Amino acid sequence: MKSTLKIGIVCYPTFGGSGVVATELGLGLAKKGHQIHFITYRQPARFNAFQENIYYHEVSGEDYPLFEYPPYDTTLASKMVDVVKYEELDILHVHYAIPHAAVAYMVKKILLTEGKYIPVVTTLHGTDITLVGTNKAFAPVVAFSINKSDGVTAVSQYLTDATYAQFNIEKEIRTIPNFIDFDRFKKADKDHFKKAVAPNGEKILVHVSNFRKVKRVDDVVKIFHKVQETIPSKLLLIGDGPDRQNVEELCRELDLGHEVRFLGKQEAVEELLAIADVFLLPSGSESFGLAALEAMACEVPVISSNIGGLPEVNIHGETGFLSDLGNVEEMATNCIKLLSNPPLHDKFRMNALHQARNFHIDKILPLYESYYREVIEASVYEKASIDKE
């Protein structure tokens, strides 16, 4: 098999975890010489500079009077077929089951009519299984799409187990965890920046999310309120979304207007993590906890819920603390414990960095490369059996 591959990556080009992982994966593979073709409706959020071996194919929305909603699935399928054929791709890697894995199955069937078999790897990221997938309107399509993929991966053991528990899955699901690029996420000297945020030496707490209800950003504010009563602190809220207005109103009710900064969506989130003392993630659902891992790579201990895949990332009593969902009191107490004990805080910082290194991109990329080759090799036999039919 040839040393480098032509890989098509289909993802949501957003700041969410699946889009970030898909983009970082493509960038990392391109650096290793593989030819990467992103197929999305917008340039991915972290794909912000020219890089060798990276190509971008935009899926344009067609607005016909006949359709109440633009037929995105159809235009995506057409673009995928076009890219596979004319760029001579070796494999498609689709992120998120709905609609990408379902569309990929359509693409496979279309290409088979022309004698080409394109293997498809589907990566499950979380809400496609735990939220969208549990909707009865989507569940049959989710299960079908997974079973018809040539390869399936999940970003945590928790998500692998949850997928088997919720659906009748016949395929082996390979757990390949999310990863961190230490060239980007690392502790850096940002003292001048820190003084601008906390001029009187206040501690800095940080939260990053898409401000959906499931992220429980109101709990972040409540935790901070309790911490701030004991330890002078500032809270940086990074991201945006539907729950932001409610969170802003809560900050006003608690008279935290001068202590909390809403920073919106940020490309260089690593620069903000570099000045953080604690990262807060009291989520109601996390298949992995990529935001926590990024903080840990910057030597920031994590205070989080014990939901989903978070215990696989944040080790209780070592890299931070885990608490039951909604236990704001305990989370605040643990946060104060860290911030009021410098030796303990330093120990947790080093532990966080050590744990994050287990997810170094250099360790995870070879797992994907090996899996691609395994799936491509198996697909040769799959195509041969189809040809006989």
Please, which residues have CB within 8 angstroms of residue 360's CB and are 6 or more apart in sequence? 179, 180, 182
- Clarify whether residues 10 and 142 are in a common domain: yes
- Clarify whether residues 228 and 347 are in a common domain: yes
pLDDT of residue 43: 76
- Clarify whether residues 318 and 375 are in a common domain: no
pLDDT of residue 72: 78
Give every residue of the chain whose pLDDT is below 50, as ranges: 66-67, 388-389
pLDDT of residue 48: 65
- Clarify whether residues 383 and 277 are in a common domain: no
CATH of the domain at 159: 3.40.50.2000
pLDDT of residue 379: 84
pLDDT of residue 388: 47
* Stretch (H or E) spanning 384: helix 361-388
Expressed in angstroms, the distance from the first to the final Cα of the chain is: 26
- Clarify whether residues 384 and 336 are in a common domain: no
Please check whether residue 197 is in contact with residue 236, taking contact to mean a CB–CB distance below 8 angstroms: yes
Distance, CA of 301 to CA of 311 (rounded, Å):
14
- Clarify whether residues 364 and 327 are in a common domain: no
Please check whether residue 209 is in contact with residue 290, taking contact to mean a CB–CB distance below 8 angstroms: no
- Clarify whether residues 95 and 231 are in a common domain: no
Q: What is the CA radius of gyration of the chain?
A: 22
Q: What is the pTM of this model?
A: 0.90
| pLDDT tens string 319-337 | 999 999 999 999 999 999 9
Distance, CA of 344 to CA of 173 (rounded, Å):
39
Residue 61 lies in a domain: yes
- Which residues span the domain enclosing 332? 191-359
- Clarify whether residues 116 and 56 are in a common domain: yes
Residue 62 lies in a domain: yes
Residue 185 lies in a domain: no
Please check whether residue 310 is in contact with residue 295, taking contact to mean a CB–CB distance below 8 angstroms: no
Residue 100 lies in a domain: yes
Residue 142 lies in a domain: yes
Q: Which two tokens stand for residue 241?
A: 């979304």
- Clarify whether residues 124 and 161 are in a common domain: yes
- Clarify whether residues 217 and 162 are in a common domain: no
DSSP 8-state code for residue 314: S
Long-range CB contacts (within 8 A, 24+) of 160-166: 162/129, 162/130, 162/287, 163/124, 163/129, 163/133, 166/129, 166/133, 166/134, 166/139
Residue 1 lies in a domain: no
Residue 79 lies in a domain: yes
Distance, CA of 156 to CA of 125 (rounded, Å):
8
Q: Which residues of 239-249 are buried (b: 16+ CB within 10 A; e: fewer)?
A: bbbebbeebee
Residue whose pair of structure tokens reads 């990556």 in the numeric block = 9
- Clarify whether residues 30 and 119 are in a common domain: yes
- How many domains does the chain contain in total? 2
Which residue type sits at 204? I
What are the E-state strand segments in 1-109?
6-10, 35-40, 54-58, 91-95
Q: Which two tokens stand for residue 215?
A: 């992220």
- Clarify whether residues 294 and 208 are in a common domain: yes
Residue 383 lies in a domain: yes
